Amino acid sequence: MSHADHLTSAQLCRALNLRDLTDPAQGAHAIQTLLGSVVASLQSEWGATVRQVRNSPIVPVRENYDRLGYGGGDVTRDRRYTRYISPTVMLRSHTSAELPHALGDYTAGGDVDELIVAPGLVYRRDAVDRSHVGEPHQVDLWRIRSTPETDDDDMLAMIALLVQAVLPGAEWKTTDAAHPYTVGGRQIDVLHEGRWLELAECGRIHPDVLRGSGLDPERWSGLALGMGLERALMLRKGIPDIRYLRAEDPRIATQMLTLEPWQHVSPLPAVRRDISVVLAAHEDEETLGDRIRTALGDDADVIESVDVLGRTSHEELPEAARSRLGTQHGQVNLLLRIVLRPIDRTLTSVQANTIRNAIYQAVHEGPVRELI
């Protein structure tokens, strides 16, 4: 891993200064209310104690991957998807990174039935659209028990309580899902406005994770559940754009303080720009999104979406197009549609073109430049 594979000091500073909407110390938000209702429901049913875990998002790679059972060659470790600070330290990609260390605190023994709640920001490379951000909020809810008898019935009961707290009355189903830190893993989908949508994933804590934290699986067991909090809140309130969760416009910000249904706010006009770019064939919507957000910095919130309208490999392009674009083997030509729609201000044509050019320069790798 080269130095170029690591975050710059400016990128790290921006990430660490981003407000954590799950943290009451940083201001009230509906995410906290929703999470509180979930925790209260689980605690009431189980009679368990509750432990809140809130740490810096800077974690050792070992905690984020190794101790949770991820293999050394797992694709999730790739620089394209992980924000490394150094070869051994990173910004956590999931709040599950907090759990192996937390489990180690139970080695003193005693009777335990505790819900560990680990909420906060996580850092990923994701597509740019109305449902995704590069720094989403997640919560891990792990039940740890000083008994080996936690089973699938306990897991299904936990799922039912979670769904009822997030989306009262919603129909739900589970499908098998593999996680290196669980056994019997499940994906939880809810029926919302006629569509099945993923809400969370869970499973029984893997015996190897327990052993790695000094707990004997013949005495200890538990459940591990992870949920994206933006998705949960957007479903609960009917919020149409993930950017609204951080909006400062009073018409929107006041709605982010309760779980009341979303009230329509007239959006500002959209500005559309289509661009044709050349880049490496391995690039996808997630890595493109990260490059765009990095290039725009604080201006990234003006982007409503970036859609891939067309993808053509060098080999599929007509010879005239290859010559005009200057493509090479291993590259593709993408046609991207950029929709700009700031939440709290309008854009002039000049401003829209400046942002268009910044995006173009951030992703285009061909020799021919087309700026406006």
Q: Is 31 helix (H, G, I), strand (E, B) or coil?
A: helix
Residue 299 has a pLDDT of 86
Beta strands in 250-340 (DSSP E): 271-280, 303-313, 331-340
What's the fold here for domain 3-237?
BirA Bifunctional Protein; domain 2 (3.30.930)
What is the distance of C-alpha 269 from the center of its chain? Answer: 28
Q: What are 355's two structure tokens?
A: 């942002």
Residue 106, Cβ neighbours under 10 Å: how many? 20
**Over pLDDT 70: what percentage of the chain?**
99
Q: Read off the amino acid at residue 45.
A: E
Task: Indicate whether 2 pLDDT > 70.
Answer: no
- pLDDT tens digits for range 134-144: 899 999 999 99
**pLDDT (mean) for 258-275:** 94
Residue 76 has a pLDDT of 87
CA distance 199 to 21: 19
Is there a shared CATH topology between the 3-237 domain and the 271-363 domain? no
Length of the chain in residues, anyone? 372
Yes or no: is domain 271-363 CATH 3.30.70.380?
yes
- pLDDT tens digits for range 7-29: 999 889 999 999 999 999 999 99
Domain boundaries, the chain: 3-237, 271-363
339 forms beta bridges with 272, 305
Residue 1 has a pLDDT of 41
Residue 297 has a pLDDT of 86
The secondary element (H helix, E strand) that includes residue 55 is none
Long-range contacts of 342-346 (CB under 8 A, 24+ apart): 342/268, 342/301, 342/302, 343/241, 343/243, 343/244, 343/247, 343/249, 343/252, 343/267, 343/268, 343/301, 344/247, 344/248, 344/249, 344/268, 345/268, 346/268, 346/269
**pLDDT (mean) for 310-339:** 95
Q: Output the average pLDDT for the chain.
A: 94
Helix-helix angle 229-237:30-46, to 10 degrees: 100
- pLDDT tens digits for range 166-185: 999 999 999 999 999 999 99
Confidence band, pLDDT 50/70/90 cuts, at residue 4: low
